[in-house]
Amino acid sequence: MALHSVQIDERTLQRGSEAQRVEWEAIVRELLSRAKSNIEEPARLDVSVTEQGFEIEFHTDRRQELGTIVIPHQLLSEHITEYIDIVRQIAEADGLNQLEALDMAKKVTHDRGGRVLKRELREFGFDLETSRRLFTLLLSLRVDTTRIVGIHGHRTIR
């Protein structure tokens, strides 16, 4: 995998709080740590948040554009809303069985969001794990996840 950096647009960075920027950096590090795609040369991913959606541009280190994909907000909105709702339910859950069921629902929703992105970015050959991590980044750019307890990670099921 040649993807080695992710750049978030300046407008989004400026509107984000310090906590959000720290969170975005951590999510980007996680995304890059295991990113897999069919991009063969060193490449950068530029993510811009617009009123209509996410604009994702791929560039080589030599600034050659490899492609641009626009992901309309409505394409991910159902998955984002469902994911946030499940996380909030987890915070209020009582009982291990309910927690485990909700955590599984959270994983399934995360997978669905990842599959949508994998399909949209198919020309770049992202695997599901990379697509899931990108979903996490896009979700956190759309919603202030620093204020939501339990948004990141999953419970270890016995």
User: Are residues 124 and 37 in contact, defined by beta-carbon separation less than 8 angstroms?
Assistant: yes
* Backbone torsions φ then ψ of 155, nearest 5 degrees: -70, 150
Separation of alpha carbons 2 and 98, rounded Å: 41
Tell me the whole-structure pTM to 2 decimals: 0.90
Residues in contact with 87: Cβ distance below 8 Å, sequence separation at least 6, in sequence order: 106, 148, 149, 150, 151
Separation of alpha carbons 116 and 101, rounded Å: 23
Separation of alpha carbons 78 and 131, rounded Å: 17
pLDDT at residue 151 tops 70 = no
- Percent of the chain past pLDDT 70, that is, above it, reads 93
Amino acid found at 145: T
Interval 41-64: pLDDT, tens: 899 999 999 999 999 999 998 889
Interval 109-133: pLDDT, tens: 999 999 999 999 999 999 999 999 9
Per-residue pLDDT, 152: 59
With cut-offs at 50, 70 and 90, classify the pLDDT of residue 158.
very low
Separation of alpha carbons 66 and 131, rounded Å: 18
pLDDT at residue 18 tops 60 = yes
